[in-house]
Amino acid sequence: MAVNFRNLGEFIDELERQGELVRFRGEVSCDLEITEITDRMSKSPGGGRAILFENVKGSRFPVLTNQFGSMKRISMALNSGSLSELSDRISSIINMKPPQSFWEKLKMLPELVKFSKFLPGKHRGKAPCHEVVLKGGDADLTHIPVLKCWPQDGGPFVTLPLVFTKGLTDGRRNCGMYRMQVFDRNTTGMHWHIHKDGAHHFHEYRKAGKRMEVAVAIGADPAVTYSASAPLPRGIDEMLLAGFIRQGRVKMTKCLTVDLEVPAEAEFIIEGYVDPEETRIEGPFGDHTGYYSLADYYPVFHVTAVTHRKNAVYGATVVGRPPMEDCYMALATERIFLPMLKTIFPEIKDYWLPWEGVFHNIAVVAVDKEFPHHATRVMNGLWGSGQMSFAKMLLLIDDEELLKNPIRLMETVLERIDFNSDIVITTGVLDVLDHSADKPLYGGKMGIDATERIAGEVERAEPFMAKRMGNDELIERVMGLEENVQDVKIYFENIQRRIVCSAIKKTRVKNSKYFMEKFTKSRLLRGQGIFVLFDHDMDICDGSLLLWKAFNNVDPIRDIVKEGDRVVVDATRKGKADGHSREWPEDIVMSESVVHRVNELLEAEESEVLKGLAKNDQGK
């Protein structure tokens, strides 16, 4: 049953009633330990449960993590029985027909009145977020249990902030979710990506030479928190989306030291300003890609006030190698924005963003083809449209049922595609976190048309059918190709275009180019499959790990070689020996000392759920 939550406390209570919350009662540090416990819970079957850490070392405030991290919890958070139900609600509005008569207009009045209730409202009286007020020198961020998530992080980061700004020219409100590194008691970084609306406001103020006021809410009700992460068009108020999701207006209150409004029911409010001319090194940060995003210069946020509820709960999220909590938030975005995507591309039936692609690296799109090369038109349209423009790889199919069966999807693609006519390699904008390209924000993209041919399209060429080696013989041939080939694993071994994964040990001389030529020029391997190269220390028996590395480490222009019916893909990390001048980020890995410490903490807990996390880790 859907519930409209006014604040985070009501959501926590409902999570506990539904058996979706576990309380961690032992003393735990917000320096890495909460992350390690949350990471294990996030990777439990189905996403595990939300965790409320009640005894955080050095702070009187409890910490909530993994609140959105399952299909059930994200649906509860968004006031729906399921994400499909919420998507249907949006579709009903988008597809509403304009009234044609006076009586039809009268019939629409109740709907219009209902929509007016979604608009943000004003809170009457003293707001709950102002129960405790700390201004000036008393505003100390170090009292808040901000998490240091991963060993190489530049410091503690606020990971679930709702950052409110106002446009200088139009006065419109924006609420975005941008991480904030805490530098000291009253300054943080403000990590605005260049394509975000907050950055647009920032550039307005910088151009005008004016200081920019900012307010940050932490621990709002779940619909408001989610809405801050939603990729809405510029100028659309996120609080309107939150009101639609909750089916009730979000009550806002004025800040005390800046001219902005914030959700009155939030747990914490941090007020302050950004000087457009001031920057500071921010990062590294263990990001949702599973890699550290690199340190760089970002604006500095100066705190003028901190306010909070008397018994505030600090809401945080932990990101890293998927699956984690943010995967479920991304899934909600995928479902919620499908109806909106269809208004631009009505031929799209459905789409899927695999977790291993970390949201922006691959999209699988099912289309209803109506004319020759329709799939290519959609492909190019998506690359020129909003957030989809950052997709590095697009795979187009025509049977939406395949989106529910990844194995059959892969089999269909491998059996069907023509390497010479179905693969498009181009260049375009990339997400700022993509590290594979030679230049930041711009690099190779790949599109694959795996739709059925229709009249007016040239038939696919028959694949080159070499005498097919047995799988054991093929493994032996690949292992004998070069002494630095460490291991070989074949996937989809009963399909002609099987995938052959090889773990290779690169050196300064035996670099990516060397191995690519070895695999490409070998006559013995012609027509034997698609060859994908991974680093020697990879577990090539872990299919999810391989997909994650392939989607993240490959620049389609540099790292994919096609010769006839042979394809070789280099999914290894790149360095100067490979001609890659950019710094390559490190994988996120927790330190062994923290892992051992957390095992002890979990064993000491009374909850069998938490004790099970220690056993899960030991069995990895």
471-578 has CATH 3.40.1670.10 classification = yes
**Parallel/antiparallel/unpaired status of strands 251-254 and 121-122:** parallel
Residue 63 pairs with which residues in a beta bridge? Answer: 53, 314
| Residue 2: per-residue pLDDT | 64
Selected residue with higher pLDDT from 101 and 579: 579
Contact 250, 224 (CB under 8 A): yes
Q: Taking 50 as the threshold, does the pLDDT of residue 336 lie above it?
A: yes
The predicted structure's pLDDT at residue 340: 86
pLDDT number for residue 91: 72
Are 570 and 515 a contacting pair, CB within 8 Å?
yes
With 0-12 / 13-18 / 19 or more C-beta atoms within 10 angstroms meaning exposed / middle / buried, residue 569 is buried
pLDDT at 432: 85
Looking at domain 104-315, its CATH superfamily turns out to be Electron Transport, Fmn-binding Protein; Chain A (2.30.110.10)
d(CA 364, CA 366): 7
Token reading at 437? 């390209």
Contact 495, 474 (CB under 8 A): no
CA distance 2 to 77: 9
Confidence of residue 95 (pLDDT cuts 50, 70, 90): low
Q: Which residues pair with 174 in a beta bridge?
A: 165
SS (H, E, C) 476-532: HHHHCCCCCEEEEEEECCCCCCCEEEEEECCCCCCCHHHHHHHHHHCHHHCCCCEEE
pLDDT at position 619: 46
Q: For position 100, what pLDDT does the model report?
A: 59
What share of the chain in percent tops pLDDT 70?
Answer: 93
210 sits in the region (left: phi over 0; alpha: psi -120 to 50; else beta) called beta
- What confidence tens digit (pLDDT) does each residue in 469-481 have? 999 999 999 999 9
Query: How many Cα atoms within 13 Å fall on the side-chain side of residue 575?
Result: 9
Q: What is the 3-state secondary structure (H, E, C) of 334-360?
A: HHHCHHHHHHHCCCEEEEECCHHHCCC
- Torsion, Cα 148 150 155 159, to 10 degrees, reads -60
Pick 89 or 106 by higher pLDDT: 89
Residue 286 has pLDDT above 70, yes or no: yes
Which pLDDT value is given to residue 115? Answer: 63
pLDDT at 453: 94
Per-residue pLDDT averaged across 259-286, rounded? 96
Catalytic member of 287, 422, 559, 565: 287
pLDDT value of position 102? 54
CA distance 219 to 315: 5
Question: pLDDT per residue over 349-403, tens digit each?
Answer: 999 999 898 877 899 999 999 999 999 999 999 999 888 899 999 999 999 999 9
List the structure tokens of 259. Answer: 């001219």
Domains 345-449 and 471-578 are alike in CATH topology: yes
Domain range list for the chain: 104-315, 345-449, 471-578
**This prediction's pTM:** 0.91
pLDDT at 106 over 70: no
Question: Which element (helix H / strand E) includes 264?
Answer: none
**Secondary structure string (H, E, C) spanning 547-565:** HHHHHHHCCHHHHEEEECC
- Give the orientation angle of helix 222-229 with respect to helix 325-336, to 10 degrees: 80
pLDDT recorded at residue 132 = 98
Q: pLDDT of 559-587, one tens digit each?
A: 999 877 779 999 999 999 999 999 999 99
Active site residue 287: yes
Please tell me the distance from the alpha carbon of residue 68 to that of residue 86, in angstroms, as a whole number.
16
Residue 615's pLDDT band, with cuts at 50, 70 and 90, is confident
Tokens (6 digits) for 342: 């269809």
Q: Give 549 or 101, the one with higher predicted confidence.
A: 549
Q: Which residues of 281-301 are buried (b: 16+ CB within 10 A; e: fewer)?
A: ebbbbbbbbbbbbbeeebbbb
* Residue 412: strand, helix, or coil: helix
Residue 73 corresponds to which amino acid? R
Does the pLDDT value for residue 193 go beyond 90? Answer: no
Provide the strand spans (E) within 368-504. Answer: 393-397, 423-429, 442-449, 485-491, 499-504
Alpha carbons within 13 A on the beta-carbon side of 457: 20
CA distance 431 to 387: 9
CATH number belonging to domain 345-449: 3.40.1670.10
Q: How far is CA 305 from CA 212, 213, 220, 271, in A?
A: 15, 12, 18, 5
Condensed to tens digits (0 to 9), the pLDDT of residues 40-70 reads 999 999 999 999 999 999 999 999 999 999 9
- Average confidence score pLDDT of the chain: 91
Beta bridge mates, 133: 307
> CA torsion, points 238, 239, 244, 248, in degrees to nearest 10?
170
d(CA 1, CA 8): 18
pLDDT digits (tens, 9 = 90+) for 79-90: 888 888 888 877
CB distance 108 to 114 below 8 Å:
no
Query: In this predicted model, what pLDDT tens digit does every residue of 526-549 receive, in sequence order?
Result: 889 999 999 999 999 999 999 999
Residues 117-168: tens digit of each pLDDT = 788 999 999 999 999 999 988 999 999 999 999 999 999 999 999 999 999 9
Give backbone dihedrals phi and psi of 559, rounded to 5 degrees, phi first. -110, 5
Burial 54-66 (b: 16+ CB within 10 A, else e): eebeebebbbbbb
